[in-house]
Each structure stands twice: as structure tokens, then as C-alpha cells.
């Protein structure tokens, strides 16, 4: 991967000006911050913009802006067929549109770059890897490191991007090139990694709230039940407050943490949870050691959620400034956006519970219309699948968007292990209705015209059945 990153770095150095274009999710925003910081340090003039999606229309706008080099962060691999003649570099971990890359060149980046209209792409799929070994932010970091070997302090933000993109979820730790990034960050004195409780909120949430809001794993009798969580912790012998202030996980001593984890393991096993699910309580966690204790920017998972909230509410620039080090106005604005995001998410989940899910043979789905923001409906679908939905089949979520209908698809790890590829399904199904789609095996999306939702759901249902039965679908 380093050799390809150096190819891109040389292209960037040769440019009078670079236009950086990033996706609005946390991975895209962190990746954009890394790209911008690296270009600034290298004295390369650039502008940065954040886009909800990259499609033919937005690429045409970029053509009119005429940047000498366009740098696409966390998207672009699925839009190669729109980039003819564009001088561009792509750092994207999503599945490429392989129909545009001849079979004999799919693992040869240099030949691909020479032959495909001046487009250089750094993508793990071109290396025979998958989407979860490095994030868009991690690929931007690889280029930043190629620009200057001293940029290893940017590894902290790259790990935030990886964790925000749940790349630590399946194996309870990051893997692949992410581990190189992690070690760089540790060596640079900006990161620490250790085994701990994986639940969200180690730095900022009261301990009982960590348990109450746990959905990976779902803890029987505790998840969703705040009073039961308080009773559980008191029975374990944990002091929940210091004077009038709720204690957080980061404030506990090692003995208290061990007691809680031990009792949680016993609690889950005694209520029928298997060892595989119970072990998901514990994993590798990542701390940005230069950030203040108790800050949402100290834990990588909390930092990622904070940045994600900015992008989901049309304020990617705010998240970008936080990633670039603004701990004043930008952080205050980001925290306000996060509070609003949580309120909207709670009301969204309440709405889903009231309305319920529709069911076809191989999928379950709901149509939020304008009740849930199109930038949030995928998050709501993922939580619904984990907590209340049937995890044996994928979930599909629709929401109205300015340019049609946003579709988000989510599937369990077990279904992905059986061969389900939602990215391929979203591409194939959306193409039938004049839309565009893509993403990851377990989390993908599409945009389709209004009025096609029912037929689209039926098409996805058929494609899911075909994939899981072994007859497959086009990629």
C-alpha cells in the first residue's frame, strides 16, 4: 500500500492546486481533515468541500471548478465510470465498480492509473483486501505519511475514522493496515490501545447509562432498562456517584472494572447468551492520550460519533474543524449537534416501534418518508436490526431526500459471513430503477426515484434470496 500512496503523493506535489472532496460521514470528515492538514504542511494550495454523495451531477460540477488535481476521500471507487478525463486521486475503501476495471488489471494499481484517464486510486480491494482493513481516513493517512514521514501524529484521527466506520466491530479490534496506523500513533505518543469494556461512552456517560444503551452486545434485562442497570451496579458494589456527580467508566479503578465485567459475563451466560455474543463485551479500545480526561474527543468511538453527528446535520465543516484541533467554538457547536442528533434518533426509534416493520420473504423494511432524516435513517435501521429486528434477514430503510428516496440497507455479521453482499445488491437493484447504489457488504445504500420503493424492495428481496441460495448477483 505504501508504494501506491507514494504514487499519489507525487501527483499531489506536482499540482498547483488540489480540490479535496469528502463524504459527509465521520470517515469522510476525518479523512478530509487528514488530507487538508497534510497538504497544508506540504505547502500545497487546496480547497476542501464535503458532499452528501458523489454522482455524475456532482462530478460535472467538479469538472467546471477545474482543480488541477481532484482528491476524492471516502468515495470515488463506485463512480469511476463518471471520471473519464478527470485528473484525480482517490482514497476510498468502498468496493470499486469492477465493471470499469479489466480483470487482468484489478490488482495492478500502476497499470490501472496509466491506462484509465489519469485516475490514481488507493483502495484495499485493488490489493486483494476488503473494506474493513482500512478506512477512507486511513487511506488519506497513508498518503499523508507518503507526503511526509513525520505526519504520524495524524494517526489518531485516522483511527477515529476507522472506529467510526465500525472497523473494530467484527473482530473487536482493528486489523489490516489499521494496525500499522495504530502502531504509528502509539509510537508518536498520540494513541493508546488496551483491552477494556467495548461499550460506548467510556469517557462521558454515567456507568449505568453505558449499560442501558448497550446494543453490541444486547444485554438481556439491562439494555434499555436504566433502573435495572442501577440495581445491577449497586449489587456489584459500585459507588455510582462522587458527591452529586455520576461516575464514568474512565473514573473507575481497575478492581471496580474487573468486578463489573465479571458480573456482566455471568449475567449474560446465565440468561442464555452464548460465549461468542458474551465475549463482545470486551475488546480493544483506543484513547487519544493528548485529549483531556472526560472529553468526548479522548475516546475514539465517542470522537467518531461526535464527528458523525456534524455530517448528518449538514455541518461537516464543524466536524472538520474539530478534527483539525479547534476545541473552542467548533467543539461547542459539535456537542450541540450531537445532543440534537440523539434526540432525533430517540424519536426515530420510537416512530419505528410504533409503525413496525414490513416483511417480504428475505428482507424486512420500513419507509420513514419525512419522519426520519435521510442522513440518519441508516443509523436508525442499524440500531433497529441490533435491538428489535430479526437479525436473520437484512433490514431496508427508506426516507425522502431532496433528489429522490434514500435507501439504507443493513445486515448482521452472520449474514455477511454466509456470503451476503449488500453493496452488490444495492448497485444492481438501483440500476434497474435509474438510481445509483453501493457501499459495504453489511452496510450499503442507494438513491432511487420516488414511487419505485415497493418494486425496489421486491427486487432487493429477490437478490438477497439469490445470493444466500448461492446463485449470486452481479457486482
Tens-digit pLDDT profile for residues 63-76 = 999 899 999 999 99
> Does residue 102 belong to any structural domain of this protein?
yes
> Does residue 119 belong to any structural domain of this protein?
yes
Residue 132: which CATH number?
3.90.1640.30
* Dihedral sign of CA atoms 457, 419, 52, 295 in order: positive
Cell 480526561 belongs to 293
CA 300 to chain centre: 12
Give the model's pLDDT for residue 472. 59
Among 189, 211, 230, the domain-final residue is 189
Both 34 and 181 in one domain: the answer is yes
**Nearest CA to 161 among 53, 254, 31, 250?**
31
Helix (H) or strand (E) holding 395: strand 395-401
CA angle, 110 then 112 then 116, to 5°: 130
CA angle, 365 then 371 then 374, to 5°: 70
Both 234 and 151 in one domain: the answer is no
Half-sphere exposure of 439 (CA within 13 A, CB side): 28
**Nearest CA to 396 among 435, 351, 443?**
443
> Does residue 351 belong to any structural domain of this protein?
no
**Nearest CA to 357 among 369, 347, 346, 368?**
368
Both 180 and 232 in one domain: the answer is no
Both 164 and 291 in one domain: the answer is no
Q: Which residues contact 280 (CB under 8 A, 6 or more apart)?
A: 172, 198, 216, 217
Both 198 and 185 in one domain: the answer is no
Both 98 and 247 in one domain: the answer is no
Cell of 198: 467495548
How far apart (Å, rounded) are the C-alpha atoms in residues 35 and 410? 29
Backbone angles phi, psi at 43, to 5 degrees: 60, 40
Cell of 98: 469492477
Burial class (CB within 10 angstroms; exposed 0-12, middle 13-18, buried 19+) of 61: exposed
Question: In residues, how long is the chain?
Answer: 475
CA 182 to chain centre: 17
Both 161 and 288 in one domain: the answer is no
Both 66 and 102 in one domain: the answer is yes
Burial class (CB within 10 angstroms; exposed 0-12, middle 13-18, buried 19+) of 466: middle
Question: Tens of pLDDT along 389-428?
Answer: 688 999 999 999 988 999 999 998 889 989 999 999 999 9
CA angle, 95 then 440 then 288, to 5°: 105
CA 329 to chain centre: 25
Among 126, 155, 189, the domain-final residue is 189
Give the model's pLDDT for residue 469. 86
Both 151 and 212 in one domain: the answer is no
Both 215 and 260 in one domain: the answer is yes
Cell of 146: 507518503
Give the model's pLDDT for residue 475. 46
> Does residue 216 belong to any structural domain of this protein?
yes
Cis upstream peptide for 217 (omega within 30°): yes
Low-confidence ranges of the chain (pLDDT < 50): 100, 102, 105-115, 474-475
Q: Which residues contact 250 (CB under 8 A, 6 or more apart)?
A: 202, 203, 293, 294, 298, 299
> Does residue 363 belong to any structural domain of this protein?
yes
| Cα separation values, 354 from 27, 177, 347, 350, 351, Å | 32, 43, 11, 6, 5
Bridge partners for 439 per DSSP? 444
Q: Which residues contact 358 (CB under 8 A, 6 or more apart)?
A: 364, 365, 366, 457
Give the model's pLDDT for residue 473. 55
Cell of 85: 478525463
The pairing of beta strand 404-410 with beta strand 88-91 = unpaired
> Does residue 474 belong to any structural domain of this protein?
no
How far apart (Å, rounded) are the C-alpha atoms in residues 197 and 283? 6
How far apart (Å, rounded) are the C-alpha atoms in residues 380 and 169? 17
Residue 461: which CATH number?
3.10.310.40
> Does residue 461 belong to any structural domain of this protein?
yes
pTM of the model: 0.87
> Does residue 162 belong to any structural domain of this protein?
yes
How far apart (Å, rounded) are the C-alpha atoms in residues 409 and 426? 8
How far apart (Å, rounded) are the C-alpha atoms in residues 80 and 96? 8
Both 322 and 399 in one domain: the answer is no
Q: How many domains does the chain have?
A: 3
How far apart (Å, rounded) are the C-alpha atoms in residues 283 and 263? 16
Give the model's pLDDT for residue 458. 97
Cell of 1: 500500500
Cell 454466509 belongs to 418
How far apart (Å, rounded) are the C-alpha atoms in residues 310 and 335? 9
Cell of 52: 452528501
Domain that holds residue 131: 2-189
Both 173 and 295 in one domain: the answer is no
Give the model's pLDDT for residue 103. 52
CA 60 to chain centre: 26
How far apart (Å, rounded) are the C-alpha atoms in residues 82 and 415? 32
Among 189, 216, 238, the domain-final residue is 189
| Cα separation values, 92 from 74, 179, 273, Å | 4, 18, 37
**Nearest CA to 469 among 361, 397, 377?**
361
How far apart (Å, rounded) are the C-alpha atoms in residues 80 and 99? 10
Amino acid at each position: 500500500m505504501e508504494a501506491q500512496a507514494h504514487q499519489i503523493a507525487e501527483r499531489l506535489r506536482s499540482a498547483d492546486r488540489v480540490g479535496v472532496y469528502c463524504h459527509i460521514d465521520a470517515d469522510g470528515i476525518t479523512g478530509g481533515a487528514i488530507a487538508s492538514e497534510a497538504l497544508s504542511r506540504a505547502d500545497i494550495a487546496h480547497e476542501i468541500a464535503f458532499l452528501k454523495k458523489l454522482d455524475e451531477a456532482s462530478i460535472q460540477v467538479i469538472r467546471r471548478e477545474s482543480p488541477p488535481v481532484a482528491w476524492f476521500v471516502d468515495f470515488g471507487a463506485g463512480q469511476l465510470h463518471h471520471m473519464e478525463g478527470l485528473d484525480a486521486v482517490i482514497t476510498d475503501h468502498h468496493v470499486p465498480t469492477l465493471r470499469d476495471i479489466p480483470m487482468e488489471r484489478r490488482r495492478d494499481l500502476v497499470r490501472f492509473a496509466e491506462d484509465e484517464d489519469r485516475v490514481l486510486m488507493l483502495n484495499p480491494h485493488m490489493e486483494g483486501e476488503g473494506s474493513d482493513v482500512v478506512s477512507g481516513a486511513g487511506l488519506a493517512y497513508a498518503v499523508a505519511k507518503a507526503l511526509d514521514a513525520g505526519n504520524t501524529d495524524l494517526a489518531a484521527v485516522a483511527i477515529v475514522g476507522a472506529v467510526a466506520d465500525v472497523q473494530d466491530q467484527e473482530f473487536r479490534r482493528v486489523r489490516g493496515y489499521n494496525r500499522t496506523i495504530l502502531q504509528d500513533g502509539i509510537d508518536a505518543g498520540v494513541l493508546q490501545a488496551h483491552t477494556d469494556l467495548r461499550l460506548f461512552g467510556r469517557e462521558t456517560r454515567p456507568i449505568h447509562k453505558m449499560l442501558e444503551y448497550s446494543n453490541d452486545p444486547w444485554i438481556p434485562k439491562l439494555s434499555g432498562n436504566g433502573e435495572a442497570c442501577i440495581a445491577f451496579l449497586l449489587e456489584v458494589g459500585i459507588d455510582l456517584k462522587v458527591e452529586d456527580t455520576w461516575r464514568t467508566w474512565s473514573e473507575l479503578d481497575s478492581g471496580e472494572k474487573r468486578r463489573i465485567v465479571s458480573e456482566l459475563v455471568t449475567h449474560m451466560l446465565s440468561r442464555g447468551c452464548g460465549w461468542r455474543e458474551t465475549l463482545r463485551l470486551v475488546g480493544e479500545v483506543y484513547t487519544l492520550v493528548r485529549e483531556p480526561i472526560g472529553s468526548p474527543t479522548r475516546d475514539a468511538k465517542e470522537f467518531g460519533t461526535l464527528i458523525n453527528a456534524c455530517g448528518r446535520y449538514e455541518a461537516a465543516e464543524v466536524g472538520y474543524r474539530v478534527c483539525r484541533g479547534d476545541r473552542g467554538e467548533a467543539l461547542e457547536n459539535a456537542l450541540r449537534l450531537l445532543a440534537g442528533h440523539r434526540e432525533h434518533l430517540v424519536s426515530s426509534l420510537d416512530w419505528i416501534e410504533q409503525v413496525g416493520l414490513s416483511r417480504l420473504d428475505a428482507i424486512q423494511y420500513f419507509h420513514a418518508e419525512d419522519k426520519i432524516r435521510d442522513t440518519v435513517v441508516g443509523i436508525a435501521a442499524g440500531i433497529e436490526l441490533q435491538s428489535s429486528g430479526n437479525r436473520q434477514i437484512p433490514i431496508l430503510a427508506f426516507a425522502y431526500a431532496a433528489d429522490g428516496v434514500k435507501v439504507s440497507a443493513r445486515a448482521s455479521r452472520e449474514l455477511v459471513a454466509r456470503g451476503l453482499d449488500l453493496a452488490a445488491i444495492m448497485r444492481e437493484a438501483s440500476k434497474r430503477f435509474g438510481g445509483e447504489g453501493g457501499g459495504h457488504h453489511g452496510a450499503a445504500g442507494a438513491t432511487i426515484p420516488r414511487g419505485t420503493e415497493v418494486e425496489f424492495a421486491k427486487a432487493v428481496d429477490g437478490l438477497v434470496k439469490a445470493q444466500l441460495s448461492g446463485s449470486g448477483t452481479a457486482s
